[in-house]
């Protein structure tokens, strides 16, 4: 298969040769291959597929539905293709132990039964229930089900998931956190610090034990903190910690994004943290996590009784990339890499090679517009899985 497009980083016309699920070669579209000028202007932009490390659902498909089914997971994966996502980490959050177990089993079954789901799901992200019980850091997570870290419980869920839990977000403020982190790391699981009220010393201990990430840094936090020390400074200063950021325009002001990106550099990653209401019309909704929530016409999602408390994001990575670019915080190629090759590299995925020969043929074709890039088509493992009608 051959794809003619503009390279997302250089803007130069290229011819991409696909063989099976791999990019076989990329060559300049010049000399005898050169297209007429009017056709060159019509070429789409080719970029690596997006990699979302934290996604709770989309378009009414909810990975935290109380009775999640494998069929629902398969439908969710296909819906995510329409947003340019070629690799995702379905995120299961705080809930009753049996609910988490059921969600893990449903995602595992979807991967076992459906090659497309297996190819798209890079792993499962367990966000909770080992989080801070304090108001603010806990966010919209149910206090009823918050608990100290338990290796036995984690192992039960990992067994139900068929070993697919790849990321676990927890707060190291609990006694025994360091041993829990070491237990996860020995299994190859990435431990991320989030929804925490941990002290700087506890954060340092967590990093020493093997924690390597901060989950949506700057969110899931107290409304007011001591100027210093506090757990935000501690995570920014910790060399071993990468960070994920929500750049939807609601979760973090631009100056916070700018500081985090300057400090972490290529270790700053974008996540959507999108919930099932992403892609749905504005209005009030009842959700299994967070209860009644409100999605505003501007795309902001908050708890119905507490407008100041966000209930996750309703915006997908394309919006986050466009926001960073529009705000002048990153040019478009660098913002795109924060949501594609950099998270892939962090998780040691072959997709970290990006748009290059030998890389997986996970390619997004884009059209540029005043509101940012829009998806025209998506290729997953060498097959076109979405084309805009």
Residue pLDDT, tens place only, 109-132: 999 999 999 999 999 999 999 999
Q: Residue 20, Cβ neighbours under 10 Å: how many? A: 10
Give the end-to-end CA distance of the chain in Å, rounded to a whole number. Answer: 21
Q: What is the pLDDT of residue 308?
A: 78
Both tokens of residue 181?
A: 């982190």
Both tokens of residue 281?
A: 């019309």
DSSP of 9-75: TT--EEEEEEETTEEEEEEES-GGGPPPHHHHHTPPEEEEPEEEEEE-EETTEETT-TT--HHHHHH
For the ranges 57-66, 136-145, 193-202, 285-294, the lowest mean pLDDT is seen at: 285-294
Side-chain half-sphere exposure of 13, counting CA atoms within 13 A = 15
Contacts of 242 (CB under 8 A, 6+ apart): 212, 213, 214, 264, 267, 268, 269, 346
Q: What is the pLDDT of residue 40?
A: 57
Share of the chain above pLDDT 90, in %: 89
User: Which helix (H) or strand (E) element contains residue 260?
Assistant: helix 254-264
Q: What is the pLDDT of residue 139?
A: 87
Distance CA(197)–CA(260), nearest Å, equals: 19
Side-chain half-sphere exposure of 123, counting CA atoms within 13 A = 20
Q: Cα dihedral sign for 180, 161, 144, 215?
A: positive
Cα Rg for the chain, rounded, in angstroms?
A: 20
Q: What mean pLDDT value characterizes the chain?
A: 94
Pairing of strands 383-387, 45-48: unpaired
For the stretch 308-327, pLDDT in tens is: 778 889 999 999 999 999 99
- Under the banding of pLDDT at 50, 70 and 90, the label for residue 32 is very low
Distance CA(170)–CA(215), nearest Å, equals: 9
Distance CA(94)–CA(64), nearest Å, equals: 9
Q: Of 216, 66, 211, nearest to 149 (Cα)?
A: 211
pLDDT at residue 38 greater than cutoff 70? no
Entry pTM: 0.95
- Under the banding of pLDDT at 50, 70 and 90, the label for residue 36 is low
CA 381 to chain centre: 20
Q: Of 368, 325, 377, 371, nearest to 84 (Cα)?
A: 377
User: Which helix (H) or strand (E) element contains residue 383?
Assistant: strand 383-387
For the stretch 175-191, pLDDT in tens is: 999 999 999 999 999 99
The answer to whether the beta carbons of residues 48 and 345 sit under 8 Å apart is no
Both tokens of residue 342?
A: 């950099």
Please name every residue paired with 127 in a beta bridge, in sequence order, or none if there are none: 93, 169
For the stretch 53-68, pLDDT in tens is: 999 999 999 999 999 9
Q: Which residue has the higher pLDDT, 40 or 244?
A: 244
The answer to whether the beta carbons of residues 158 and 123 sit under 8 Å apart is no
Pairing of strands 2-7, 124-127: unpaired
Q: What is the pLDDT of residue 30?
A: 76
CA 287 to chain centre: 21
Both tokens of residue 185?
A: 């790391």
Residue positions counted in the chain: 389
Q: What is the pLDDT of residue 248?
A: 95
Q: What is the pLDDT of residue 206?
A: 98
Three-state SS at 346? helix
Both tokens of residue 254?
A: 């631009």
Q: What is the pLDDT of residue 34?
A: 55
Q: What is the pLDDT of residue 75?
A: 97
Distance CA(263)–CA(251), nearest Å, equals: 19
pLDDT at residue 289 greater than cutoff 90? no
């Amino acid at each position: 298969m051959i794809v003619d497009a503009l390279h997302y980083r250089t803007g130069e016309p290229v011819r991409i040769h696909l063989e099976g699920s791999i990019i076989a070669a990329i060559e300049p579209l010049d000399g005898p291959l050169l297209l007429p000028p009017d056709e060159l202007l019509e070429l789409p932009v080719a970029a690596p597929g997006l990699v979302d490390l934290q996604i709770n659902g989309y378009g009414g498909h909810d990975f935290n539905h109380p009775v999640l089914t494998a069929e629902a997971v398969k439908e969710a994966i296909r819906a995510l293709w329409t947003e340019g996502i070629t690799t995702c980490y379905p995120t299961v959050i705080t809930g009753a132990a049996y609910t988490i177990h059921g969600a893990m089993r449903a995602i595992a079954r979807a991967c076992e039964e459906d090659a497309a789901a297996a190819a798209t799901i890079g792993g499962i992200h367990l966000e909770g229930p080992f989080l801070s019980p304090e108001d603010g850091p806990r966010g919209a997570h149910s206090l009823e089900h918050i608990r100290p870290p338990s290796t036995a419980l984690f192992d039960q869920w990992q067994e139900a998931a068929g070993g697919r839990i790849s990321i676990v977000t927890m707060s190291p403020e609990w006694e025994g956190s360091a041993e829990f982190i070491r237990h996860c790391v020995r299994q190859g699981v990435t431990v991320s610090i989030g929804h925490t009220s941990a002290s700087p010393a506890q954060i340092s201990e967590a990093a020493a034990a093997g924690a390597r990430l901060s989950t949506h840094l700057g969110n899931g936090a107290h409304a007011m903190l001591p100027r210093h020390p506090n757990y935000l400074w501690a995570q920014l200063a910790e060399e071993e910690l990468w960070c994920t950021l929500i750049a939807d325009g609601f979760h973090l002001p631009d100056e916070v994004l700018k500081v985090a990106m300057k400090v972490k550099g290529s270790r700053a990653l974008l996540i959507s943290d999108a919930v099932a209401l992403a892609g749905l019309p504005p209005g009030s909704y009842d959700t299994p996590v967070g209860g009644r929530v409100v999605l505003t016409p501007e795309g902001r999602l908050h708890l119905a009784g507490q407008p100041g408390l966000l209930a996750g994001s309703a915006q997908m990575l394309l919006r986050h990339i466009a926001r960073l670019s529009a705000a002048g915080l990153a040019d478009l190629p660098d913002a795109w890499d924060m949501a594609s090759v950099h998270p892939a590299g962090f998780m040691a995925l072959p997709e970290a090679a990006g748009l290059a020969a030998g890389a997986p043929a996970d390619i997004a074709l884009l059209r540029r517009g005043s509101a940012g890039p829009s998806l025209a088509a998506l290729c997953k493992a060498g097959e076109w899985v979405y084309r805009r009608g």
